[in-house]
Structure 1
Amino acid sequence: MNEKLEQLKAKIMPGGRSMILAYDQGFEHGPRDLLEHPESASFQYILDIAQRGRFTGIVAHAGLAEKYQAEILASEVPLILKLNGTSELYTKEDPYSPQLYSVSDALELGATAVGYTVYSGSKYEDDMQREFARIIREAHGQGIPVIGWMYPRGKSLFDRRSASKTLKLALEEQEATNLAIDETPSIVAYGARIGLELGADIVKVKYTGSVESFRWVVRAAHPTRVVMSGGPMTKTDEEFLAKIEEVLSAGAAGIAVGRNVWQRQDPLVISEKIHRVIFGS
């Protein structure tokens, strides 16, 4: 057993539960996510939420992590460095998120863990899966936990002529539930399983709409732990909290959330509610 790896996993997942504040959206989505609450453009504002809201980790790209290295260290919030990224400016039917930073960069910046997005289903999946496998080997060699953003995506997911048995199942699930194709249990579970097979410690996935279906995602990924992606902001706190309760009931470790916290009028209020659901009083 790698003692350092287990110790760092326990920092971002104390007691087997995780509450991560994601702030990689500025790269992926651009500043549009920040317009309604301009203060959220400040990383210091986000870091304060993470610290006061008792989050078990904060996700950032290397530019922010470098500029705020001292502040992150002082906050004692574990840094999860995102190692790849891509913008939405160029519309891609088959997305590719290239590796931008290394495990060595993460260590220099004091990261507790690293993260990487994989778009399985894209024609570039081989490149991303190969990069991710290499990152996992390097990170585990240094005792660093790895989180996979497992988001199956690409034009092949919409090909009704595909011979893929998984896609056929997903299309049936979509017709029965009205879920987006990348939220169907078959697709989400496949992405989670790929994360397990590659060696990720935690996988971040979309919610599949029900406790029963998400339980299968958790089982497909076991013993890799599963956290739910926060996604776009829900209309009410209660709607989002109900999703968290459901994924925890299904066996998930927790959530990695961004917009559903820092886009709200009072981020600390929702943070306290989330903490209560995940960790209890």
Structure 2
Amino acid sequence: MINTIEKIKEYLGDAQDDLLKHTCETITANQLTLPGPDYLDQVFTGSDRNVQVLKSLASIYNHGRLGGSGYVSILPVDQGLEHTAGSSFAPNPMFFDPENIIKLAIEGGCNAVATTFGGLALHARRYAHKIPFIVKINHNELLTYPNTYDQIMFGSVREAWNLGAAAVGATIYFGSPESNRQIQEVSEAFEEAHEMGMATILWCYTRNSAFKTKDKDYHSAADLTGQANHIGVTIKADMIKQKLPETNGGFRDIKFGKMVPAMYDKLASNHPIDLCRYQVINNYMGKIGLINSGGASSGASDFAEAVRTAVINKRAGGTGLISGRKAFQRPLKEGIKLLNLIQDVYLSKDITIA
């Protein structure tokens, strides 16, 4: 039987040496607050978070296969609103029933499930004590014509609390015309959530047509996403969800905002782990956990892509993965296998901080 690290190397293929043997020489690991069993004690017991927030954070960090490790694996399913239900669930129609979303998270050994008010409300009494709930409180919707892209509130923080949520999640489209309003709405919601004893998780996405040029898409640039993260931790997100960086130089090449050359040659390099570490350092040097998103389902390559993302996130100093479509857009057993494979990366002692 193949052991865990060999299985991971197999999925990494020709990239295994580049990803598993890389050493960060930009911001070194000893400058970071790293995930571990004492992570909550290190970061939050000296903060202004009240006792109930600490309990809520502990319920997430201590649940599932990664419980007690300082790492998290979260199943997010809000694509029925963000991408339309038909296009999201056509590959696996069982997930039109939100109970199956919760069941997948439980059977997949996740730390928590993140989904909509309606889906969690319908099954709250049956499952709120079995897995931590993260209620997504704002969404984009695609039924307006022509399509517009804006995050609007779909419910109240109090209603999330009534559902037994351990945390609320929200998205801000940084760089969009609506971002100032979204920052104000979400910061107020996060303040209320903390007062009521819930943790806060921010989806820090960049969105602006100017961020995509003829030659390159900078929506996943390390400098732009890193700054989005930094704004996110400023409004007191307890965890940041971000896309894995695939490039850099957004401020420099689009010629906006503020930049200095050291952002690109001292704080980061072109190596994928160093790009991700730039995101981590913008999360208060790792004090606020970075969870990278799993991305869209690509079919047969999903398992290899998930392993690559998890290895980069872990070795960069990140806290885990929040992967949805790769898991639920396939048969249930395969979805569980994929989630467990991601978790195996974080459980492996052979994969260390770069």
Class of the TM-score when normalised by the shorter of the 2 chains: 0.7 to 0.9
AA aligned opposite 1:57 = A
TM-score, normalising length: structure 1:
0.87
Cα shift at 1:156? 4.3
AA aligned opposite 1:226 = L
AA aligned opposite 1:8 = S
AA aligned opposite 1:228 = N
Cα shift at 1:71? 2.6
Q: Please say if 1:98 is aligned against 2:160.
A: no
Contact 2:75 2:112 in 1 (8 A): yes
Give a deviation string over 1:17-70, Cα, whole Å, max 9, x none: 111100111111112011112122222222111111111111111111111112
Which whole-Å CA distance do the structure 2 matches of 1:90 and 1:247 have between them? 36
Q: Which has a greater percent of helix?
A: 1
Give structure 2 stretches of 5+ with no counterpart. Answer: 1-44, 63-68, 247-271, 350-354
Which whole-Å CA distance do the structure 1 matches of 2:93 and 2:147 have between them? 31
Contact 1:95 1:124 in 2 (8 A): no
* Aligned position for 2:81: 27
* Aligned position for 1:163: none
* Aligned position for 1:9: 57
* Aligned position for 1:224: 288
Cα shift at 1:6? 1.7
Cα shift at 1:142? 1.7
Contact 1:122 1:156 in 2 (8 A): no
* Aligned position for 1:124: 178
With over 3 angstroms needed to count, the CA separation of the structure-2 counterparts of 1:279 and 1:92, relative to structure 1, is farther
> 5 Å matches for 1:1-281?
1=45, 2-14=50-62, 15-31=69-85, 32-73=87-128, 76-90=130-144, 95-158=149-212, 178=216, 180-209=217-246, 210-222=272-284, 223-234=287-298, 235-265=301-331, 266-280=334-348
Give structure 1 stretches of 5+ with no counterpart. Answer: 159-170
Give a deviation string over 1:120-139, Cα, whole Å, max 9, x none: 11111111000111011111
Contact 1:93 1:154 in 2 (8 A): no
AA aligned opposite 2:229 = A
Which whole-Å CA distance do the structure 2 matches of 1:250 and 1:77 have between them? 28
Which whole-Å CA distance do the structure 2 matches of 1:156 and 1:89 have between them? 24
Which whole-Å CA distance do the structure 1 matches of 2:275 and 2:144 have between them? 33
Give a deviation string over 1:81-130, Cα, whole Å, max 9, x none: 01111212336787321122121111101101000100011111111000
AA aligned opposite 2:51 = E
The structure showing larger relative contact order (alpha-carbon pairs under 8 Å, at least 6 residues apart) is 2
With over 3 angstroms needed to count, the CA separation of the structure-2 counterparts of 1:53 and 1:251, relative to structure 1, is same
Give a deviation string over 1:205-231, Cα, whole Å, max 9, x none: 000131110001000112221100111
Aligned residues between the structures? 263
Structure (1 or 2) with the larger CA radius of gyration: 2
Which whole-Å CA distance do the structure 2 matches of 1:246 and 1:19 have between them? 15
Which whole-Å CA distance do the structure 2 matches of 1:153 and 1:83 have between them? 19
Give a deviation string over 1:237-259, Cα, whole Å, max 9, x none: 12221111111110110011110
Contact 1:22 1:258 in 2 (8 A): yes
Which whole-Å CA distance do the structure 1 matches of 2:82 and 2:144 have between them? 11
Which whole-Å CA distance do the structure 2 matches of 1:94 and 1:248 have between them? 35
Which whole-Å CA distance do the structure 2 matches of 1:131 and 1:154 have between them? 20
